Amino acid sequence: MTSTGEWADGRARAGAGSETAGAQGDREALPRAVDTERYPLDRPGGADWNRVVDRARADLAADGCCVLPGFIRAELLDTLRAEGDALAPHAYYTVEKVNAYNIPLDADLPSGHPGTIVLERGNAFVARDLIPADALIEVLYTSPGFQRFLADCFGLAELHEFADPLAGLTLNVVAPGMSHPWHFDTNAFTVSMLTRAAQAGGVFEYCPGIRTPEEENLGDVRAVLTGRGDGLIRRLELRPGDLQLFQGRFSLHRVSPVEGTAQRHSAIFAYTEQTGVVGNVERTRQLFGRVLDDHLIAAGNTVRGDRLLD
């Protein structure tokens, strides 16, 4: 894919030769992509920056989710959608039986454990190594200014891109009639952006804080998976260009079945507090249909901040 607009010119001019050039490119590219009047990523640490950060922290503390509407400039929404449309055919498509923990279905679990409930996963992912360097979502994902802003919103000293060469940045594709079933994320926090909305359905549903680092709360999880936990579920109607910050490791969540004729696309920006995080072999094969040497080498040396089921 070639460059889709002049908004990325600053990054292209900066090149990869020096840190100074990269910082200059970041300062030029971010204001072209982000509505900096509402979200002052070009003015870190200022009063407006702190106002947005404080709001994000309050929302995350309240229910583990924050939506920053209109994060991407309105004039770039067509670019965002077009890039997703060009990438979507490269997604790994398969309908697969899974569970909410994305662990093997034959895992040794006690009777009644919610991990024994089989779900159908029909969504697809475009892997990181298939996303061009000049795509809008790639420029955002690798931007130091964007990363600093997210770290502040999550109350972290710093964050790191996934070391996983496939799962660091992905495009999630949900075709009509399909859904992204109930699941937990590997990392403690998730950043995503809708790039194409479904005509109907495709609603983001989540159960904030349904588990903690110390407790799986299996009863509540089972209630949701068996249709008896509607009181635990919250629903969001997202719009293209909205940035969503989410604590997905502790909140069971899904995208409900997509209706109509249009696919639903969303970019998933994966960051972690620890360096060197690589997805496990089983989950990587589920999502992308392939594994790389990085996944095989990392097998048995998984980096996690808790002992929860994946």
Q: What is the pLDDT of residue 16?
A: 37
Q: Specify the CATH superfamily of domain 6-298.
A: q2cbj1_9rhob like domain (2.60.120.620)
Q: What is the pLDDT of residue 284?
A: 85
Q: Classify residue 202 as left (phi > 0), alpha (psi -120 to 50) or beta.
A: left
Average pLDDT over residues 241-248: 96
pLDDT tens, residue by residue, 53-103 = 999 999 999 999 999 999 999 999 999 999 999 999 999 998 889 999 988
Q: What is the pLDDT of residue 53?
A: 98
- Is the pLDDT at 5 greater than 70, yes or no? no
Q: What is the pLDDT of residue 3?
A: 38
Banded pLDDT at 27 (limits 50, 70, 90): low
The residues spanned by each domain of the chain are 6-298
Q: Angle between the 47-63 and 144-153 helix axes, to the nearest 10 degrees?
A: 50
pLDDT tens, residue by residue, 118-164 = 999 899 999 999 999 999 999 999 999 999 999 999 999 999 998 88
First-residue to last-residue Cα distance in the chain = 34
Q: What is the pLDDT of residue 286?
A: 80
Average pLDDT over residues 279-301: 81
- Is the pLDDT at 26 greater than 90, yes or no? no
Torsion over CA of 74, 77, 80 and 81, rounded to 10 degrees? 170
- Is the pLDDT at 296 greater than 90, yes or no? no
Q: What is the pLDDT of residue 23?
A: 58
Pairing between β-strand 96-98 and β-strand 180-183 as defined by DSSP bridges: unpaired
304: tokens are 């996690």
Average pLDDT over residues 205-228: 96
Q: What is the pLDDT of residue 12?
A: 34
Pairing between β-strand 180-183 and β-strand 190-196 as defined by DSSP bridges: unpaired
As a whole number of angstroms, the distance between CA 74 and CA 239 comes to 11
pLDDT tens, residue by residue, 252-279 = 999 999 999 999 999 999 998 888 888 8
pLDDT tens, residue by residue, 206-216 = 999 999 999 99
